[in-house]
């Protein structure tokens, strides 16, 4: 199957047109006419995933995060991003990014996070007219905030989380946004829609202060843990269409941020 045919399928799952204005999604390296026989899915375009693709003779990498966000003025061996792009081209590996369009998709990161936390009756957090950023769902069984934190840590494989709120508060309605959703507008939406707790990553001290002022229970589930979970879902969706293409998840990817 050719790269352009796979791109058509990817656009059924998460249309590139869904991406936010500042984002950079789609085919970022490679040629649409290249033939694809093996795909590797990962969160980030790291040296490890590129080397894995080379060793396994994969000729397409799909990640959530793009390699380039800002304008590129030079492609040379002085920049890490440039070196990675050059390595992909030398080895005939296409690179495709699905970022905010995947966040919005019904098969994307926010959907996967709801699924991981076993939420029911899923609705959107922010209505973009063509889709939703963030999600709201309900727990099967109500829990105290303290017990819910334990549940979240267990489901996402986290040793600890940062949070603010009343650990005795009963949690039923959960608001969330995968990745970096520590934005005042999301806090206000979660509060307006009567969420008992809001989960996201990349929460700063002043974000916690704002949540405290709003009396909004807030949990930092980390950017990494909230997004790495998309891979199996994307693989499952692609396998519905790609009978003759092998798809591998980069399961040995790990969070580069360590905690002591």
**How many CB atoms are closer than 10 A to CB 71?**
5
Read off the pTM.
0.95
Residue 23 covered by a domain? yes
Residues 10 and 81 both lie in one domain: yes
Q: Does 202 score more than 90 pLDDT?
A: yes
Are both 53 and 95 inside the same structural domain? Answer: yes
Residue 177 domain flag: yes
3-state secondary structure of 175: strand
**Is residue 105 predicted with pLDDT exceeding 90?**
yes
- Which residue range is the domain that position 140 belongs to? 106-227
Shared domain check, 187 and 148: yes
- Alpha-helix residue ranges (DSSP H) falling in the chain: 3-13, 47-55, 80-90, 100-104, 109-116, 145-156, 184-192, 205-214, 223-227, 231-239
Residues 126-136: tens digit of each pLDDT: 999 999 999 99
The tens digit of pLDDT for each residue in 145-168 reads: 999 999 999 999 999 999 999 999
Residues 114 and 61 in one domain: no
Tell me, yes or no, whether 137 and 48 share the same domain: no
Domain total of the chain: 2
Same-domain check for residues 167 and 116? yes
**Token pair 């580069």 in the structure block, residue:** 256
CATH number at residue 45: 3.40.1390.30
Q: Are residues 38 and 115 in the same domain?
A: no
* Pair 87, 127 in one domain: no
Asked whether residue 223 carries a pLDDT value surpassing 90, the answer given is yes
Residues 152 and 114 in one domain: yes
Structure tokens at 255: 């969070």
Is 176 inside a domain boundary?
yes
| Rounded Cα–Cα distance for residues 197 and 219 (Å) | 8
């Amino acid at each position: 199957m050719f790269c352009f045919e796979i791109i058509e399928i990817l656009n059924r799952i998460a249309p590139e047109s869904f991406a936010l204005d500042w984002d950079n999604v789609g085919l970022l390296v490679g040629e649409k006419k290249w033939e694809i026989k093996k795909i590797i899915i990962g969160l980030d375009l790291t040296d490890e995933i590129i080397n894995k693709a080379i060793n396994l003779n994969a000729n397409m990498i799909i990640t959530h995060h793009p390699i380039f966000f800002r304008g590129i003025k030079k492609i040379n061996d002085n920049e890490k991003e440039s070196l990675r792009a050059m390595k992909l081209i030398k080895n005939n590996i296409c690179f495709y990014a699905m970022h905010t369009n995947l966040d919005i998709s019904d098969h994307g990161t926010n959907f996967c996070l709801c699924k991981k936390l076993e939420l029911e009756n899923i609705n959107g957090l922010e209505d973009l007219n063509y889709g939703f950023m963030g999600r709201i769902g309900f727990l099967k069984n109500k829990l105290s905030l303290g017990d819910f934190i334990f549940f979240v840590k267990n489901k996402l494989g986290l040793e600890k989380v940062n949070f603010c709120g009343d650990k005795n508060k009963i949690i039923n309605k959960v608001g969330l946004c995968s990745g970096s959703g520590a934005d005042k507008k999301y806090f206000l939406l979660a509060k307006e829609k009567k969420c008992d707790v809001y989960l996201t990553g990349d929460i700063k001290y002043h974000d916690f202060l704002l949540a405290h002022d709003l009396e909004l229970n807030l949990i930092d589930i980390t950017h990494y843990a909230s997004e790495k979970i998309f891979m199996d879902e994307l693989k499952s969706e692609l396998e519905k269409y790609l009978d003759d293409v092998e798809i591998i998840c980069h399961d040995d990817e790990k969070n580069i941020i360590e905690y002591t």
